Amino acid sequence: MLVRGEAGWEIIPELAPQPGEPIIDKPGKGSFCATDLELLLRVRGIENLVLTGITTDVCVHTTMA
């Protein structure tokens, strides 16, 4: 698992967030479990997402479900 501060966690420069964009550390496979992602999306009025990732069969699918 990628954990902030551990080897391999770093975001590559080409995909780095813009100033002010949030970074959400997720403790499990799904991005909504035990994070503020749902609140962040609702507050910003975001209703549609494009999901991508490295482990499509696990993390991306779990988030999508």
What distances in angstroms separate CA 32 from CA 6, 9, 39, one per listed residue? Answer: 22, 19, 10
The per-residue pLDDT string of the chain (65 residues; one tens digit each, 9 = 90 and over) reads 677 888 878 888 998 999 999 988 888 889 999 999 999 999 999 999 998 877 778 888 999 99
Q: Residue 16 corresponds to which tokens in the numbers above?
A: 């780095």
Write down the pLDDT at residue 52. Answer: 84
Nearest alpha carbon to residue 61 among 30, 36, 37: 30
What 3 state SS string does 1-30 have?
CCCCCCCCCCCCHHHCCCCCCCCCCCCCCC
20: left (phi over 0), alpha (psi -120 to 50) or beta: left
Write down the pLDDT at residue 47. Answer: 96
* pTM for the predicted model, two decimal places: 0.75
